Structure 1
């Protein structure tokens, strides 16, 4: 590593007295001698490269130790000049070209003053080098530079995270060891390029995909025989609102599903028997003026199949906006029963909490319920005033809310209709009402369960 490159990532050393310098050096040498070598280098490995370089001032023995760590973790912001970053990476990879590289993490941000061809050349050179060094973990943020094809044939790669890069349409992608794949703000040549990448990861277990308006993907097809966890999210851009976005999932081993994208129109889950946990924040593109249409039979059929697919989960987090759609659907035909849900979390943000009891009637065995909200609209429904069935399995309820506007009606609903309820926890963070007033109101609520404990925090 050249001295100039090292200085740009090494902050100026503080002016300690000589005795202090010696003391810190002795302590550093003690750590070096007494820690197992594998553990010592693992500690350094988990530090950003900028922090690793700082360890060179601990003692003369530590001067070049950081160069032996099999990983780079660099941020463009740590360098005053881009050419210094380039020199730093080139030097490090050259010095370690005969060694294996465990990690290559690089964050470079968009700069329109740079030449696109030059950036692509840097990327191609570095990727070729790390592939030859049998890199295992790659994390690249570089807007918007094309990743060379050789990376998608890397036989040593285990985790791959790409952000802001460009993926060309390649005929063949083969990543036999990749278990974790994260794609955020990636621009694809077309939908087929993305599909090839996913299917080319033969032992893929975790997939994270962030949707963006420029990714050229209207239909996302996730086909994997090994996938265990899928997280699909992204901003609800108005540009995407006018597209017919579809997500199709064919993953028989999928156990964890997270969906958070309001303007995706359709979610099709072909095999869901392994689903255990779901986090659902979708509106099927019923937003920006679009409303549920009971006469749209194809949309109703899609929603039904989606609800059936997630009905087997044990733990569920669901947004109130999704409950609104389910409630509208229930006016046309019955909602499938969620017999396996034991833990249910509901998040209300500028939505009506009164819609919750209707959904609970489909959750026959829910034991624990967590409700979180910070705002309530003035619009109200009469859903709580209707006769409701008993919540025969509910044991624990926790409500975290902006209590200034919360009515006691929801709390009363749980306490009055839960025969085996053990504990209700009410979080009063930011509440302007006196705790004594709230407690007096709680005491007036008749309890169906004699063992129910109400805790106010």
Structure 2
């Protein structure tokens, strides 16, 4: 027995301890392990042993939020010490992400942190300052405007300006959210000074010192534009809306996401390529003045739609549908002759305008309708006119119904089934329990289909999908 215990003890002594096994791993592997931890947890490993004291500095990223610390001063002290250690160890910090919430009297420190990483070849910089008042916005350092290593930049609630020139030769993705700029000329220069920029996201505020946003880029492929009220304007309908304009000169643009339900005027005054996919969010107000002459809302709206009339792929919101209805009361919409795919959110009260809208899309191939806000049920769908696209080009129809919109969805399905000559697939989805999949499929099959070969797909709230071919 004693001999067996001695033998077992010897085997155990011959095995390395768990700590030694991990500590003996290469630095590169330990760095990978630490990169999977939150920054604060990775830093805590420095107390394990002398070997681990500075290993966390091998992780080339720092991701911190001020709300994870007891108070703002503790957060500032931690970031300062961390950056000092990176400087002392001559370590690379390729990625810095900070989420900062501070009071008006808290010390300014973001500028110096951005300056530090900008001069040390940072590749990814994300700085979000939450609910900072305009008079307390921190200023972007001049060094950032000449950071040759930067690939990704996101700035939220800071002040930009003060530099006559900008050079960001490698920047591909940029997000500018609720910032204040020196003037519109600076913002225009800032964007155009990024020679390889591909993805641009701008969320404006009413007090950003920019009236006409000019986007000039020969490389941009994706552009997202939004709007948030500035300080003191959380109820946007109370503030005096400025005359705001938009000019886009981006010949390689493939995707435009445009959402603005706050500013009084939005005008795209440049050519939009047919290959661009346009996603239009809320645009509630339109007015425009030139040399003291006022144009009607209908004129401005029609100019807006004329500008995008050559696109092939269009997504529109409920507010855009209302704007289209408003525009059509005065004169027909421009013809969207190249439009192939249309996706629209439609409030039930606006359902009856669909045939008139489709008259402007003579070559439409696919349509997805998302029925929302079941306030009024339309009973006259079967008496609608039949647009040209239903007779010649429309091949795919998908109808999504919110709760209590199922019966309208069925009427729409009947309308397309009985009038689309070349329909290849019809999909009907609903959320409520008013309809049952098998009975819906039987009712659809019993219709007088204009198309001779069509796949029918129905899907109810239980995600039970039923399919059938004519």
Q: How far apart, in 2, do the equivalents of 1:314 and 1:27 lie?
A: 59
Distance in 2 (CA, whole Å) between partners of 1:139 and 1:75 is 11
Seen in structure 2, the aligned counterparts of structure 1 residues 317 and 54 have a Cα distance that, compared at 3 Å, is farther
Q: Does 1:103 align with 2:102?
A: no
The range that moved more, 181-190 or 376-385, is 376-385
Matches within 5 A, 1:45-444: 45=35, 48-50=38-40, 52-53=42-43, 64-97=54-87, 98-114=90-106, 118-119=107-108, 122-142=109-129, 143=132, 144-235=137-228, 237-239=236-238, 242-264=241-263, 265-273=265-273, 275-283=275-283, 285=285, 297=295, 299-349=297-347, 352-378=350-376, 385-390=383-388, 391=390, 392-406=392-406, 407=408, 408-435=410-437, 438-439=440-441, 441-444=443-446
| Distance (whole Å) between structure 2 residues aligned to residue 26 and residue 355 of structure 1 | 73
- Structure 1 pair 393–147 and aligned structure 2 pair: CA distance change class (3 A): same
After TM superposition, give the deviation of residue 85 of structure 1 in Å: 2.0
Q: Is the 8 A contact 1:28 1:59 kept in 2?
A: no
CA separation of 1:351/1:280 partners in 2, compared to 1, >3 Å: closer, same or farther? farther
Q: Over residues 186-224 of structure 1, what are the superposed CA-to-partner deviations in whole Å (9 max), with x where a residue is unaligned?
A: 123333332232233233221111122332333222222
User: Contact (CA 8 Å) 1:320, 1:351: kept in 2 or not?
Assistant: no
User: What secondary structure does 2:171 align onto?
Assistant: coil
Aligned to 2:8: none
State whether residues 177 and 203 of structure 1, in contact with CA within 8 Å, keep that contact through their aligned partners in structure 2: yes
* The structure with more radius of gyration: 2
| TM-score normalised by the chain length of structure 2 | 0.78
Q: How has the CA–CA distance of structure 1 residues 333 and 28 changed in structure 2, closer, same or farther, with 3 Å as cutoff?
A: farther
The 1-side partners of 2:251 and 2:431 are apart by 42
Q: 1:355 to 1:27 in 2, by over 3 A?
A: farther
Segments of 5+ residues of structure 1 without an aligned counterpart are 1-21, 288-294
Q: Distance in 1 between matches of 2:48 and 2:40?
A: 15
Cα displacement (A) at 1:404: 2.0
C-alpha deviation, 1:81, in angstroms: 2.6
Alpha-carbon distance between aligned partners in 2 of 1:279 and 1:128, rounded to the nearest angstrom: 36
Work out the CA distance in 1 between the residues paired with 2:267 and 2:394: 30
Q: What's the TM-score once normalised by structure 1's chain length?
A: 0.80
Q: Is the 8 A contact 1:253 1:274 kept in 2?
A: no
- How far did residue 75 of structure 1 move? 0.9
Task: Give per-residue Cα distances to partners, 1:387-416, cap 9 Å, x unaligned.
Answer: 212513222222221242342321112111
> Contact (CA 8 Å) 1:403, 1:428: kept in 2 or not?
yes
Q: Tell me the distance in 2 between the aligned counterparts of 1:137 and 1:277.
A: 28
Gaps of 5+ in 2: 1-15, 230-235, 288-292, 460-470
- Whether the aligned pair in 2 keeps the contact of 1:75 and 1:108 (CA below 8 Å) is yes
Deviation by residue 1:16-66 (Cα, 9 ceiling, x = unmatched): xxxxxx998699679x67xx948x756754764245447779999766533
Q: What is the SS of the residue equivalent to 1:267?
A: coil
